[in-house]
Amino acid sequence: MGCGADEVVAALRAAAVVVAEHREELVRLDRAIGDGDHGENLHRGFSAVVSKLDGSAPATPGAVLKLAATTLISTVGGAAGPLYGTAFLRAATAVGDAPELDAALVAGALRAALEGVVARGKAVVGDKTMVDALTPAVTAAEDVAEGGVDVAAVLAAAAGAAEEGARSTEPLVARKGRASYLGERSAGHLDPGAWSTSLLLRSFAGGAR
């Protein structure tokens, strides 16, 4: 099965459902080391993406991702708004106007998304941010994409690595974002942005939970 605009739309709708289901959890995580709005921010953003997609369905995967990006930028707020917005924007640019995504394009889009997040937020692995989830996800996606697998397998590999990366943030002391103001007290909690990255990739992979 190919991955055209309709499948990307479906993935974003699935992401919105997952974000809604995990809203409280993300709020709780962000309350521990931030200001408690991460779940609300993403819920607002992905709900807006869904209503945009209800109104108009762009013709290519890239155009769908671009619509998601601009919607997230103007609705999410917080640090996650510019970061996820930039991620989706770079992913959209990376896939260009290809009518269908294959494994290599998806891995390339994830790579571009990571580069966008790093350019915007200047975080490196170990700073206790979404970069800690996205970085291993990209590496895993690229590894399996080389083996000539399908898009689902690339996303599954990315989701698995992202979850592991997100869990690795628990003992870390935050060095970027709002949590960094807590210093040592940020240790012992999962980073909300890393966790939402893991959830989003899991939902894209179709194994949402």
Partner 1 sequence: MIGLVVVSHSRRLAEGVAELAGQMAPDVRIAPSGGDGSGGLGTDYAAVAEAISRADSGGGVVVLYDLGSARMVAEMAAEEAGTPVVVADAPLVEGAVAAAVAAQGGASADEVAAAARAAYHAGATPAFAAPDTDPLAGAAGDAEVPAPSTEDAVRSDVVLTNDVGLHARPAALVARALAGLDARVLVRYGEQEADAASVLALMGLGAPGGARVEVVATGPDAAEAVRRVSALAARNFDE
Binding site for partner 1 (CB under 8 A): 35, 37, 73-74, 77-79, 81-83, 85-86, 120-121, 176-178
Q: Which residues of 122-145 are buried (b: 16+ CB within 10 A; e: fewer)?
A: ebebebbbbbbbbbbbbbbbbebb
Instruction: Calculate the CA 119 to chain-centre distance.
Output: 15
Interatomic CA distance for residues 113 and 93, integer angstroms: 10
**Which is closer to partner 1, CB of 52 or CB of 202?**
52
- 193 near Mg ion, rule: CB under 5 A: no
Q: Rule CB under 6 A: say whether 30 interacts with ligand ADP.
A: yes
SS3 35: coil
Q: Does 123 bind ligand ADP (CB under 6 A)?
A: yes
Member of 45, 61, 78, 85 binding ligand ADP (CB under 6 A)? 78
Q: From CA 23, how far away is CA 3, in angstroms rounded?
A: 28
Question: From the CB of 155, what's the least distance to ligand ADP, in Å?
Answer: 20
Is residue 82 at the binding interface for ligand ADP, with CB under 6 A as the rule?
no
Q: Are 141 and 115 in contact (CB under 8 A)?
A: no
| Residue closer to partner 1 (CB basis): 121 or 165 | 121
Nearest alpha carbon to residue 145 among 104, 204, 86, 201 = 104
Phi-psi bin for 177: left (phi > 0), alpha (psi -120 to 50), beta? left
Contacts of Mg ion in 22-81 (CB under 5 A): 30, 34-35, 37-38
Does 128 engage in binding with Mg ion (CB under 5 A)?
Answer: no
Based on the shown chain and the rule CB under 6 A, indicate whether residue 34 belongs to the binding site for ligand ADP: yes
Enumerate binding residues for ligand ADP (CB under 6 A).
30, 34-35, 37-38, 41, 78-80, 83, 117, 121-123, 129-131, 176-178, 191-194
